[in-house]
Structure formats: structure tokens, C-alpha cells
Amino acid sequence: MEPTPSLPYVAPELLTALTDAAGRRLDCNEAWRDIFGDDGLWGRLPIEDARFAQEHTVEASRGGAVTNEVFLVEGGLGDGPLPVLLHFHPVRLPQSEPGRYPVSIHGEVMREPASWAAEQTRRRRMEMLGRMTMGVAHDFNNLLTAVIGHAELLRSDLLRLGADGETHGHLKALEQAAGDGAALVRKIQQYIRNEKQERAVPVALHAIVQEVLTLTRPYWHNEPRRQGIAIRVETELRPVPAILGTPTELREVLVNLVLNAVQAMPAGGTLTLTTSRRDRAAIIEIGDTGVGMTESVKRRVFEPLFTTKGSGGSGMGLTMSQGIVQEHNGRIEIESEPGRGTLFRLVFPFSTGTPAPETARPAAAPATAAPGIRLLVVDDEPMVRTVTSKLLRLRGHDVTEVNGGPAALAALADGTAVDAVVTDLSMPDMSGRELAAAIRQRHPGLPVLLLTGDTDAEADGDDVAAVVKKPFQIDVLDAAVRAMAPGA
């Protein structure tokens, strides 16, 4: 048994404790004992707080550090719950096994218990909201995978039937909207995990505006016409030097402004979109001939939760749009008068690069010189499993479908001959990584590819040969599958 480090002398107001890698208390000072007592390490914490504290202890034992965590101690000093600020750090002793370090916990009693209790409640709610949001993002990624997959199948059918250009244009708009939806899900995941957002690239604004017009056509053309309302669209899209930005976010801003403009013209009117340049800046203007805004509304229009749409508006659209524009080193200017309409002017500095060319979709599914391979597709979601299998068969692969990890292992045990396995990562009975580990043990050399909407999932080189992010383009998945072919 390794020797236990002892605690140094500390001032009485500083709470300190030492635990082993399993979270069992080894030592503590008197100040800690006064607050937490002797009934276990976290015996005086509410059940939920005790669970979080234990999770932080385990994380620190693995080499991480967790700081500035507030917990409410029940039955400590004073009459009500006592807020305590704690920090968790690993103690890296020479004789310690990596990933199983003792943990030093220190902290202090906070003042103003009522305000800290409120902050603790808010923090817990935000953490639970984050977990719920990640679950929704996973489900939404599956839906988008099915949408994009069926769009690709539809494109193949349209090419075979010789559909006209307008039909292909509608399909392109559908794929663009689904792609933007997938990018929005990734942005939410990255925000919750505090990850770096997408890398900015040179963007041609006039091309982005044209895409937004196509995406929003149902809102300014189809729906108004159905209601007997006429909205005329006027554009003057001059090519301007590129700006540095994220195309998905810029489309999000412009879609929001176009929808606002349409909603500001309940009796119809004119929607105008222009691109131009001024000195070293690129300009986008979105105007309407609608109800306009008073000075007081203009002053508050970017405030969070401020809306003139009643219960139908969130009050966040323009706030988020302004934030995105500012992240692009730009600004938004407003011109508006009651009864005379509104003009939003977006001003962005030029980029020094050239716009990334739009990825052209092939006229047809590319012919592959190499024959397809035998695949086992594993997913517990029938909708995703079916569309993935159809797309892979379209590329010449021989596909067997199964529902979940246990079924995959059973199929392999029964002698189903495959060259590679394509599996979802998040499945209830057995995760994709667990399946990959079992396959490596029982069927050495059989490569496994993970499909996942998780932004930080990576191949480990041992159990998992490759990772493809959902929703995927079939070109990407097909290339990854062929890279696992025997002899590739």
C-alpha cells in the first residue's frame, strides 16, 4: 500500500481534505470536519450535489482539475444551507499509478448564502439543460441524416428520370437548408462543450445572398401568394471583395433579416437586397416597405428578449444576428421610420483571401473503378439504418443491415462474411465503441467505422479505424469505406 501524503498546516478558515482515487477521505483539517462532519466525505450534501462532488473527485483522480464549484452544505455551521466553494486537484506522487491519483480538495465558506444558493440552482439547471440539449442534438442529427440521405437518393432518381433544372434547384435548396441545420447543431454542441467554432474562410457575399433568397422563397413568395398578398423582390447583387467569415452563420443572419422584413409587410410590399462596397468594406442591405419602427423601438431592437411580435416572437433573432455580425468584425446600421419601412445595413471589412469555391455536386453518382465491398451496417434507428444502407448499395457495396450491437455480433458469429463494419456510436444496448472493442477481440483485423454526430469523436487507431460525422454526404462515407477495403 502506497504511503498517504499528509496535509500541511493551513489557516482555520481554509477547508482542506485528501481522498484516495476512489473518493474515500484519507485526511482533513478541523475546518473541513466542522462543515462536513465525520459521516462520509459528502454526507451533508444534497443527493444531487453529492453526486456532482463525487464526479469531480473522480475526474481529478484521473489527472484533471476542477475549480470554482459551489456546493450547499446542509446541517453545517449556521441555521440554513451553507455555500462552500471547492477546488479539486490531483496529487501526482511518484509512486501513484497514472489515472489513479490521490485528490486534494480545498475551499472556503462563501458569504451571502441566499445569492449563492440562487447561483447554485441556476448552475445546476444550466448543466441539466446542457445535457438535455446534447440529447436533442443527437436525435436531430439522426433526422438530418435521413433528410440528407433521402435527398441524395432523390437526386439519383431525378438524374435517371431527366428532371428539369428547376426541380434540381429545389433539391439543392433542400440540401442547403439541411446542411445549415447540421451546422447549427454542431455549433450548439461546440458551445455547450466550450469548443472552438468553425474556422472562418473568405466568403463571397453576393453568392450568400443569392442562396438566402432561394432558401426563403417559400416565405416571401409561396405563402404570401396563398394568402392573396403580393411581395415583390428587387435585387442588385454586385460582386464585392470577399469577407472573412463562416457561411452558415452569415446565412443565419440574412435569413433572419429577410423573414423580419416579410413579417413587417402584412399587406404586401417590396423586399430589396443589395450588395455593394464602400472604401475597404463590403455592404449588404436588406430593406422593406413595411410598418417601420419608432425611435424607441430602434434603440431597443437588439436587446435580448425585446420583441414587437407579441407571444409569437422570442426576442432573440436580432440579438443573435448582431452578435454574429460583431464576431465577423462587422456592424449593423438601421434606417427606419413609422409607415415608411426599414433598411438594415450590414458592414463587413474585406478579407485578404479569395472566396472558397462552392463544392460542385457531381452530375451523377461517380463511377468507381474498384468494386464495392461487403459491409455490415449497424444502427438502432431504422430510418438512419435504411437510408445509410440504400446509399451504400447505390455506390456498389453489398450491405447487410442489423439492429444494434448484439445483433451485429450474432450475425458475425453466424458466419455473415463482411469486409468492414459501419456502426452508429450512440446505441442503447451496446455503444459503437463497445461493439468495436468486441469485434477486435472476436474478429481481429475486421475494420470498424463509426457514424456519429458527436463533434469530438475521433478514431483511436485500434478498435476504430475511421469516424464519419453525421449527417454525412455519401461521397465522404463511400471514400472512408473504400479506404478500409482489403488491400486498400
Cα–Cα distance, 401 to 396 (Å, whole number): 15
Q: Is residue 2 part of a domain?
A: no
Higher pLDDT among residues 67 and 424, named by residue: 424
Residue 311: its pLDDT value, please? 40
434-468: per-residue pLDDT in tens? 999 999 999 999 999 999 877 666 666 668 888 99
Residue 353: its pLDDT value, please? 55
Whether 80 and 141 map to the same domain: the answer is: no
Please name which of 457, 453, 454 lies closest in space to residue 470, comparing C-alpha atoms. Answer: 453
pLDDT for 246 beyond 60:
yes
Whether 469 and 403 map to the same domain: the answer is: yes
Whether 265 and 345 map to the same domain: the answer is: yes
Residue 97: its pLDDT value, please? 82
Whether 205 and 175 map to the same domain: the answer is: no
Would you tell me how many other CB atoms lie within 10 Å of the CB of residue 140?
A: 18
Please name which of 344, 342, 319 lies closest in space to residue 254, comparing C-alpha atoms. Answer: 344
Q: Is residue 237 part of a domain?
A: yes
Residue 443: its pLDDT value, please? 93
Q: Which residues are within 8 A (CB) of 352 and not within 5 positions of it... i.e. 6 or more apart?
A: none
230: domain CATH number is 3.30.565.10
Whether 89 and 157 map to the same domain: the answer is: no
- Strands 374-378 and 398-402, bridge-based pairing: parallel
Which residue is it, cell 443569392? Answer: 210
Residue 282: its pLDDT value, please? 92
Q: Is residue 367 part of a domain?
A: no
Cα–Cα distance, 414 to 403 (Å, whole number): 15
Q: Is residue 3 part of a domain?
A: no
Whether 428 and 382 map to the same domain: the answer is: yes
State the average pLDDT over residues 284-303: 88
Residue 338: its pLDDT value, please? 92
pLDDT for 130 beyond 70:
no
State the average pLDDT over residues 63-86: 76
Higher pLDDT among residues 436 and 159, named by residue: 436
Q: Is residue 339 part of a domain?
A: yes
Side chain identity at 329, as an amino acid letter?
N
Whether 317 and 188 map to the same domain: the answer is: no
Q: Is residue 206 part of a domain?
A: yes
Cα–Cα distance, 87 to 108 (Å, whole number): 9
Low-confidence winner among 75-84, 245-254, 278-287, 352-361 (lowest mean pLDDT): 352-361
Q: Is 315 exposed, middle or buried (0-12, 13-18, 19+ CB in 10 A)?
A: middle
Mean pLDDT: which of 29-43, 281-295, 350-364 is highest?
281-295
Q: Grade residue 367 by pLDDT with cuts at 50, 70 and 90.
A: very low
HEC per residue, the chain: CCCCCCCCCCCCCCEEEEECCCCCEEEECHHHHHHHCCCCCCCCCCHHHHHHHHHHHHHHHCCCCEEEEEEEECCCCCCCCEEEEEEEEECCCCCCCCCCCCEEEEEEECCCHHHHHHHHHHHHHHHHHHHHHHHHHHHHHHHHHHHHHHHHHHHHHHHHHCCCHHHHHHHHHHHHHHHHHHHHHHHHHHHHHCCCCCCCEEECHHHHHHHHHHHHHHHHHHHHHHCCCCEEEEEEECCCCCEEECHHHHHHHHHHHHHHHHHCCCCCEEEEEEEEEECCEEEEEEEECCCCCCHHHHHHCCCCCCCCCHHHCCCCHHHHHHHHHHHCCCEEEEEEECCCEEEEEEEEECCCCCCCCCCCCCCCCCCCCCCCCEEEEECCCHHHHHHHHHHHHHCCCEEEEECCHHHHHHHHHCCCCCCEEEEECCCCCCCHHHHHHHHHHHCCCCCEEEEECCCCCCCCCCCCCEEEECCCCHHHHHHHHHHCCCCC
pLDDT for 400 beyond 60:
yes
pLDDT for 290 beyond 70:
yes
Residue 418: its pLDDT value, please? 93
Cα–Cα distance, 462 to 447 (Å, whole number): 9
Residue 239: its pLDDT value, please? 86
Cis omega (within 30 of 0) on the bond before 304? no
Phi and psi (nearest 5°) for 444? -55, 140
Angle at 443 between CA 441 and CA 449, to 5 degrees: 90
Residue 439: its pLDDT value, please? 94
Structural contact between residues 259 and 323, judged by C-beta atoms closer than 8 angstroms: no
What rounded mean pLDDT belongs to the chain? 80
Q: Which domain holds residue 426?
A: 374-483
pLDDT for 302 beyond 90:
no
Domain-ending residue, one of 52, 82, 111: 111
Whether 323 and 304 map to the same domain: the answer is: yes
Split into its structural domains, the chain has a count of: 4
C-alpha distance from residue 359 to each of 37, 254, 479 (Å)? 64, 21, 16
Whether 63 and 133 map to the same domain: the answer is: no
Would you tell me how many other CB atoms lie within 10 Å of the CB of residue 325?
A: 21
Angle at 184 between CA 179 and CA 185, to 5 degrees: 100
Q: Report the predicted TM-score, pTM, of the whole model to 2 decimal places.
A: 0.43
pLDDT for 6 beyond 50:
no
CA 74 centroid distance within chain: 37
